[in-house]
Amino acid sequence: MIVEARETETIGLQTAPSAPGRRQRVLSGMQPSGNVHLGNYLGAIRNWVAQQEIYDNVFCIVDLHALSLPTTRETLRANIRNLANVLLASGLDPERSVIFVQSDVPEHAELCWLLNSVTQFGELRRMTQFKDKAGSQVEGVSAALFVYPVLQAADILMYDADLVPVGDDQKQHIELTRDIAERFNARYGETFVLPTPDIKPAGARIMALDDPTKKMSKSATSPNTYVALRDDPDTIRRKIRRAVTDSGSEVTAGPDKPALTNLLTIYSLLSGETIAALEARYAGKGYGVFKADLGEVVVDAIGPIQRRLAELEADPDAASRALAAGAERARERARRKMALVRERMGLGFGRS
- Residue numbers at the binding site for ligand TYM (CB under 6 A): 27-31, 39-40, 43-44, 62, 65, 152, 155-156, 164, 166-167, 169-170, 173, 204-206, 215-216
The catalytically annotated residue of 131, 171, 218, 239 is 218
- Whether 22 and 56 have beta carbons less than 8 Å apart is answered as yes
Does residue 215 have an active-site annotation?
A: yes
Cβ 173 to ligand TYM shortest distance, Å? 6
Q: In sequence order, what are the beta bridge partners of 101?
A: 61
Helix (H) or strand (E) holding 22: none
Cβ 123 to ligand TYM shortest distance, Å? 16
Q: In sequence order, what are the beta bridge partners of 100?
A: 60
Cβ 10 to ligand TYM shortest distance, Å? 26
Backbone φ and ψ of 140, nearest 5°: -100, -10
Distances (CA, A) of 155 to 62, 92, 106, 131: 9, 19, 11, 22
Distance between CA atoms of 185 and 343, rounded to whole angstroms? 13
Q: State the residue number with the nearest CB to ligand TYM.
A: 43
Does residue 257 have an active-site annotation?
A: no
35 or 191: whose CB is closer to ligand TYM? 35
Rg for the chain, CA atoms, rounded: 21
3 state SS of 70: coil
- Whether 63 and 102 have beta carbons less than 8 Å apart is answered as yes
165 or 295: whose CB is closer to ligand TYM? 165
- Whether 294 and 263 have beta carbons less than 8 Å apart is answered as yes
176 or 297: whose CB is closer to ligand TYM? 176
13 or 76: whose CB is closer to ligand TYM? 76
Query: SS3 sequence, 33-79?
Result: CCCCEHHHHHHHHHHHHHCCCCCEEEEEECHHHHCCCCCCHHHHHHH
Q: Residue 192, Cβ neighbours under 10 Å: how many?
A: 27
Q: Which residues touch 352 (CB under 8 Å, ≥6 apart)? A: none
Cβ 199 to ligand TYM shortest distance, Å? 8
Distance between CA atoms of 152 and 64, rounded to whole angstroms? 10
Distance between CA atoms of 90 and 275, rounded to whole angstroms? 24
Does residue 218 have an active-site annotation?
A: yes
206 or 263: whose CB is closer to ligand TYM? 206
Cβ 96 to ligand TYM shortest distance, Å? 19
148 or 290: whose CB is closer to ligand TYM? 148
Catalytic residues, by residue number, are 133, 215, 218
